[in-house]
């Protein structure tokens, strides 16, 4: 599993980062294109064997659109743009609720399997349509405009300046649950939409979300960002208690999300720089790193209790990707040796344990000793969007 010449990869080199992105795309393409039902195939074993042809997850569909759009933006082969366009068509035809508007969370083939309207899923619809539009797919603009309106109409909570989480299909009942995770991804999507369109409303909303989460919510839970909240946005320390494996609503302080917000603040800083952004970004980075880093085996542990004790010591692929991204943006902004060193260290760790140098793609989950739990590389909603996005952000930062 270890790669003998991973020492040879220079992760500070933009051309090398670009090559790593295309190695990921080459793992998925062409096998992930579903010519039968449309959209994408979401289930792969480590060697590329397909183990699920029917699950179509809104988040996964959007993440595939994202990675292929990045391939097109970076000047990849024609199939990058065509593969992204293929996803946009499926999103519009099947994930979209043509009766009530909004986007269904999961399909079985083309039949609706989970008809909930989730802020998390809509965040990725905004992200995917924005980056597809930036890549040159004109028809993505109507989805971008539509999903923004859906978010405004149903999810936006002006009183708390954050997005609600979950509705039923007909927009009759809203869940009492509130979460930082969809708001974080909505901040990312708004920044992407701003860069794709130049429309000020997206930057304004990204700014508002960053302020709400990294200033207000951070204070409510004692200087780090908790995951789950009550309807009036107080930290809910009982919800999902000790269930750190929930894909969208994990329990705990997640070091990876402190690092992800650190990245988002530096991304926001590119467009509207205010002193609190760097200050908070560095604070979150140091907390995520110091509390999450595994000095014995390397990498970053997954979750901490309300008292900041480790309650999940697994190594999740996306956490390393987000940490790489945050370190690269902070290194580019401050040029401090510390961030460059962490960046190099995390890239090296990921190359050694997470990247599959034989088949391509990243392993999803390792135990504390860096051994994978299974031979499943990808199940919905994983498409290796996190490492692709991390390398892409690093390329932009190093420019």
Rounded Cα–Cα distance for residues 177 and 171 (Å): 15
Longest dimension (CA), the chain: 56
For residues 214 and 284, the answer to whether their CB atoms sit within 8 Å is: yes
Considering Cα of 8, then 345, then 316, then 249, what sign does the dihedral take?
Answer: negative
Rounded Cα–Cα distance for residues 288 and 263 (Å): 12
Q: Respond yes or no: is residue 386 known to be catalytic.
A: yes
For residues 389 and 321, the answer to whether their CB atoms sit within 8 Å is: yes
For residues 313 and 301, the answer to whether their CB atoms sit within 8 Å is: yes
Catalytic-role residue among 257, 271, 297, 357: 257
Is residue 110 reached through a cis peptide bond, with omega within 30 degrees of 0 on the bond before it?
no
Rounded Cα–Cα distance for residues 157 and 100 (Å): 20
Pairing mode, if any, of strands 106-108 and 111-114? Answer: antiparallel
Rounded Cα–Cα distance for residues 196 and 203 (Å): 11
Q: Respond yes or no: is residue 3 known to be catalytic.
A: no
DSSP for residue 6: G
For residues 315 and 370, the answer to whether their CB atoms sit within 8 Å is: yes
Instruction: Give the H/E segment covering residue 162.
Output: strand 162-163
What residues are annotated to the active site?
Answer: 257, 386
């Amino acid at each position: 599993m270890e790669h003998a010449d991973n020492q040879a990869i220079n992760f500070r080199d933009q051309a090398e980062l670009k090559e790593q992105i295309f190695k990921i795309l080459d793992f998925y393409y062409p096998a992930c294109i579903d010519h039968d039902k449309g959209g994408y195939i979401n289930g792969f074993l480590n060697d590329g064997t397909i183990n699920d042809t029917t699950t179509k997850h809104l988040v996964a569909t959007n993440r595939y659109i994202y990675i292929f759009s990045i391939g097109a933006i970076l000047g990849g082969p024609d199939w990058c743009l065509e593969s992204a366009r293929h996803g946009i068509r499926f999103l519009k035809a099947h994930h979209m609720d043509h009766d009530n508007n909004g986007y269904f969370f999961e399909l079985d083939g083309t039949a609706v399997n989970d008809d909930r309207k989730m802020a998390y899923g809509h965040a990725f619809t905004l992200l995917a349509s924005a980056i597809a539009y930036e890549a040159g797919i004109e028809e993505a603009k109507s989805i971008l405009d539509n999903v923004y309106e859906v978010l405004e109409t149903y999810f936006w909570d002006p009183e708390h300046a954050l997005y609600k989480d979950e509705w039923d299909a007909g927009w009759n009942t809203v869940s009492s649950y509130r979460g930082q995770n969809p708001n974080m991804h909505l901040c990312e999507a708004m920044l992407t939409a701003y860069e794709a369109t130049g429309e000020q409303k997206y930057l304004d909303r990204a700014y508002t979300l960053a302020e709400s989460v990294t200033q207000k919510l951070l204070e409510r839970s004692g200087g780090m960002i908790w995951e789950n909240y009550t309807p009036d946005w107080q930290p809910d320390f009982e919800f999902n208690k000790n269930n750190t494996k929930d894909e969208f609503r994990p329990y705990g302080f997640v070091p990876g999300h402190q690092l992800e917000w650190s990245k988002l603040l530096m991304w926001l800083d590119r467009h509207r720089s205010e002193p609190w952004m760097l200050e908070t970004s560095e604070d979150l980075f140091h907390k995520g790193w110091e509390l999450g880093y595994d000095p014995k085996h390397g990498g970053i542990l997954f979750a901490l209790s309300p008292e900041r004790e480790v309650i999940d010591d697994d190594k999740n692929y996306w956490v390393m990707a987000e940490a790489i991204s945050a370190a690269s943006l902070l290194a580019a902004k401050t040029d401090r040796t510390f961030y460059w060193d962490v960046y190099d260290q995390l890239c090296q760790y990921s190359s050694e344990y997470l990247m599959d140098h034989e088949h391509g793609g990243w392993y999803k989950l390792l135990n504390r000793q860096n051994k994978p739990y299974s031979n499943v590389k990808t199940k919905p909603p994983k498409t290796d969007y996190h490492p692709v996005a991390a390398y892409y952000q690093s390329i932009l930062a190093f420019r």
